[in-house]
Every structure is written in C-alpha cells, then in structure tokens.
Structure 1
C-alpha cells in the first residue's frame, strides 16, 4: 500500500500519525507541507477526497487566521484555498493519504481508519495515551 503524509515535524499530532503509519509497516512519503506546499490541484483533490470543505481544513491556532479575517463568512471556497496556498500554515495537519482513503488525522488515531484492519495492534502516543490495544 502507498501512503503520503502532509507533515509538520513540530506538531505532536503529526508525529504520532507518522509513527502509527510506520508501526503499520508503511514507509510513507513524508511531505513537509510548510516547505513544499501542495499545488492548488492537489489541495483541491485532497479536500474533495476527504469530503470536507476548505473551511474545514483551515487551522486557526498559531496562524494568521484572525489577522486575515478568515472567521468571516465573506470568503468563497476558492478564496480560502488561495489563502492556504499563500500561507501553508493555515492548512490543518496532518493530512494522510493511503490506498484506503484520505483523512485529516486530528486526533492522530484517525489514521487507523485508512490503514488495513489490524495493521496497528498497539500504539502509545508521545504523551503516553494508548490509542489501540492488541
């Protein structure tokens, strides 16, 4: 199976999702999206595959969300995508794509939905929380 993670190594949730992918035996393509943002076409494709709206993918904490007035309803989906492309920190993470689907993995254990059944028997997050027991 192929897997890709749009990853921020400074984010614990993203690190946990990546660790679960590896625990499942995957060698995912790791895209540090702050350094290498997805193209407009790829971002639109990911949003569509997740079945969410661009607004659902916006990250507020630690971003220019408020400064840009993104909480207002005046922005179209295309405009929100433009903002995410101009400011990749606005893209919530991690987004994981496997042969079984695409998910915004918040919380990180959402990644289990797009891994083969039983691929991860037991996993403990960085903070000690057990998310799946074998």
Structure 2
C-alpha cells in the first residue's frame, strides 16, 4: 500500500516525518502541499476518512492563518466554508498530512506514525 504524504520540504516537522517513513520503509508518494494541494473533493474525502473535526486540519500557527484572521472566522464557519479555505492554499493545511487507504494522520507524532504506518 502506498500512502500519500503531503508535505512542505522546508518544514522541519515534515522532514522528520519523511525520515521516519524512509527509515521504516513505508511506501509513499511525496506531494508538495503548496504546489499540489488536495482539491476540495479530495480534502472532504480525507477529512471524512479521518473522523477528525475540520478545524484539526488548519495550520493554526501559520502566517497565512493569522493574516486571514481565521481564528475568528472559523468559529461560525460551516464545513463547506472550512473546506473552501483549506483547498484555497496549501499553507493553511496542517502538515504533514499522511493518507492511506483507510487511515489519515495530521502532523507528526512518532507514536501515531508507529500505530498507523508501521
């Protein structure tokens, strides 16, 4: 099984996750999250598969998130509106985003990767 690994090469957390995948010989397709962000439909599928709330997919510490004032906007936003924001700019997505056939991880925590991708 090949997992989709959405990452930003300049992100230290993404590089740690990639190193973990390499060391554990996980078969993955690396996708640059800014150059090739997931589409609205792909994101909806990923979020639904994860079972996580939409807000978990936002990079809340990112510059773009702050510039757009999303902290306040998301309190009343619908899921469709959140999808629009997320699909509009790969920098708004929490990364890395790792997607398998029936699993999704957001961010990188070694224990979570161990449980899901090993």
TM, length-normalised to structure 2: 0.86
The runs of 5 or more residues in structure 1 that have no matched partner are 117-134
**Higher Cα Rg: structure 1 or 2?**
1
> Per the alignment, in what secondary structure is the counterpart of residue 5 of structure 1?
strand
Q: What is the aligned partner in structure 2 of residue 33 from structure 1? A: 33
- 2-side partners of 1:50 and 1:69: how far apart? 26
Deviations 1:5-64 (A, max 9, x none): 011111111111111111111231000010001111111111111111221111122332
Gaps of 5+ in 2: none
Aligned to 1:112: 114
Report the aligned-residue RMSD: 1.7
Higher share in helix: 2
Distance between the aligned counterparts of 1:93 and 1:56, measured in 2?
11
Say which structure, 1 or 2, has more relative contact order (CA 8 Å, 6+ apart).
2
Quote the offset at 1:109 in angstroms.
4.4
TM-score w.r.t. the length of structure 1 is: 0.77
User: Which residue of 87, 90, 98 maps to 2:89?
Assistant: 87
Runs of 4+ in 1 over 3 A off after TM superposition: none
